[in-house]
Structure 1
Amino acid sequence: MAHILMPLPSRDADPSEVAVSWQILRDRGHRISFATPDGRPAECDALMLHGRGLDPWGWIPGLRRLALVGRLLRARRDAREAHARLRADAAFQRPLRWDQLNSADFDGLLLPGGHRARGMREYLESERLQAVTAAFFAAGKPVGAICHGVLLAARSRRADGRSVLFGRQTTALTWALERKVALLARFTRFWDPHYYRTYLESPGEPRGYMSVQQEVTRALARLDDFLDVPPDAPDYRRKTGGMARDSRDDEGPAFVVRDGHYVSARWPGDVHRFARSYAELVEERESPEIPCDSLNCS
């Protein structure tokens, strides 16, 4: 049984990426500890749970409970059910504080994402979490990152000042997916049109410069080290359309990249395959006859 650390912001982490990952790892016998800035239980992004507020009438008190577009954009039922179970978990209710973390106390690190700026920025910009992430990479321990969690990894620096992802291959939330939901929000959530953009471009910066994909790519050794779904991939349209999500029984829509002891994925639609791939990596690391650092798969 491995002991996995999952740090979270105080609020607005993606419930699918947190709860499904926790459920799959726990079901495989692993122990998960959580950490938040102040040691209080995290609150995941409520809009991604109930979907209310993602429709054009979502700002009207009497109508906001009528979720139509919100039903399509919110977490799937299995993720919502996993989140309900997660909230009853003792470790989730008694998280560590970020300033208490020591990578030596854990066997692996899992970095979930989220997008809502008000909660995610403290997580992405935390020098403490960046240092902890760098320590896991330096120790060769399994690291998994999904969506904006990859951005936290990209901002974490090695002793030479380069990103821990420099020289590695990775994926993350692609600009194509981020742009698609950002454009949709201009109409469906017009009073808060930047809900899906954690960082916005400054005057003079090209569109997408502050997207997850572009910032992560700037941290890599080569542009080609950022991987997206190849055009000839099976289920290409399901993987890239932004509507189909994977499930326990259907990994067709998912895209996951593995490079040594590091696994990455793009968005909540990848989370089942991502969590299983990370669990497999953790289990290989516990088995001395399998040199998983020699593996690179996507």
Structure 2
Amino acid sequence: MARVLILLPARDFDPSEAALSWRVLTNTRHAVHFATPDGRAAIADDMMLTGQGLDPWGAIPLLRNLPLIGRLMRANREARKAYAEMIADPNYLAPQRWDAVDPAAYNGLLLPGGHRARGMRDYLESEILQRLVAHFFDAQKPVAAICHGVLLAARSISKRTGRSVLWGYQTTALTWAFERSAWSVARITRFWDPNYYRTYLEQAGQPEGFMSVQQEVTRALARAEDFRDVPRDDPDYRRKTSGLVRDTMDDATPAFVVRDRNYVSARWPGDAHTFAKTFAGLLK
């Protein structure tokens, strides 16, 4: 049995990526612990749980309780059930503080994602977390990162090399195709807050997508081709790239997961089962 640490922000993490990973790891008899900035239980992005606020009428108090498009974009039923179970776990209710974590006490590290800037920037920009991530990589312990979690890894600098811990690794992450697609929908359905799906926006003079997860992660790699996406000749290419189909415990065909030595990465909540199963296998 391995001891696994899941790092979370105080709020706005993606419920599917954290909870489905937690369920797979606990079901495979690994001990899962959590850490948050203040030692209090974290709170997921509520719109990804309820779907409320993702429709054009989402700012209207009563009508927002009737999600339509939000039902398609929120966590699915299985993920919501896993989240309800996870937040009742005593380890979840009593997390460590980020600055109190002893990385030597853990065999593996998992980094969920989330896109909502309000809560995720503190997580992605934390020097405390970047040092923790670097410790696990430098010790060659198993690390798993999904979606924006890969961005935290990309920003973490190895003490051994002075470069990103992902330098020399192959990885995937939230792709620009996925990020741009969700952003395009939100600009219509959530017109009063059109950038909900963009954690970071381009500045004057930067091309569109420059501050996307994919582009920033790619800039941290040894070679641009080390960023992996679904190959065109994959027999399940459409299922993997549509953004409409999510994997399950028994069906990995919609998922795209990259494993390189002690490191596992994935793109979005639709990869979460396969991502967590791959990581659990690595921990063995």
TM over 0.5: yes
How many Å apart are 1:179 and its aligned residue? Answer: 0.2
Higher mean C-alpha deviation, range 153-162 or range 134-143? 153-162
Q: Match for 2:189: what amino acid? A: T
How far apart, in 1, do the equivalents of 2:263 and 2:103 lie? Answer: 15
How many Å apart are 1:234 and its aligned residue? Answer: 1.9
How far apart, in 2, do the equivalents of 1:84 and 1:250 lie? Answer: 23
Q: Match for 2:77: what amino acid? A: R
Counterparts of 1:25-104 in structure 2, within 5 Å, are: 25-104=25-104
Secondary structure at 1:64 match in 2: helix
Instruction: Give CA deviations for 1:201-223 in whole Å, capped at 9, x if unaligned.
Output: 00100000000000000000001
- Which structure 1 residue ranges, 4+ long, deviate > 4 Å from structure 2? none
Aligned residues: 283
Secondary structure at 2:264 match in 1: strand
Secondary structure at 1:6 match in 2: strand
Query: Any stretches of 5+ residues in structure 1 without a counterpart?
Result: 284-298
1:178 maps to what in 2? 179
Q: Percent sequence identity over matched residues?
A: 65
1:20 maps to what in 2? 20
TM norm structure 2: 0.99
How far apart, in 2, do the equivalents of 1:46 and 1:167 lie? Answer: 36
Instruction: Give CA deviations for 1:32-53 in whole Å, capped at 9, x if unaligned.
Output: 1100000000000110011011
How many Å apart are 1:278 and its aligned residue? Answer: 0.4
How far apart, in 2, do the equivalents of 1:174 and 1:95 lie? Answer: 30
How many Å apart are 1:109 and its aligned residue? Answer: 0.3
1:105 maps to what in 2? 105
How many Å apart are 1:250 and its aligned residue? Answer: 1.4
Secondary structure at 1:131 match in 2: helix
Instruction: Give CA deviations for 1:131-150 in whole Å, capped at 9, x if unaligned.
Output: 00000001110000000000
Q: Match for 1:124: what amino acid? A: L
How far apart, in 1, do the equivalents of 2:224 and 2:104 lie? Answer: 33
Query: Any stretches of 5+ residues in structure 2 without a counterpart?
Result: none
1:233 maps to what in 2? 234
How many Å apart are 1:103 and its aligned residue? Answer: 1.2
Counterparts of 1:1-298 in structure 2, within 5 Å, are: 1-159=1-159, 160-283=161-284
Instruction: Give CA deviations for 1:95-127 in whole Å, capped at 9, x if unaligned.
Output: 000000121010000000000001000000000
How many Å apart are 1:252 and its aligned residue? Answer: 1.1
How far apart, in 2, do the equivalents of 1:240 and 1:63 lie? Answer: 32
How far apart, in 1, do the equivalents of 2:6 and 2:62 lie? Answer: 37
Secondary structure at 1:228 match in 2: coil
How far apart, in 2, do the equivalents of 1:12 and 1:146 lie? Answer: 15
How far apart, in 1, do the equivalents of 2:263 and 2:250 lie? Answer: 24
Q: Match for 1:204: what amino acid? A: G
Q: State the Cα RMSD in Å.
A: 0.5
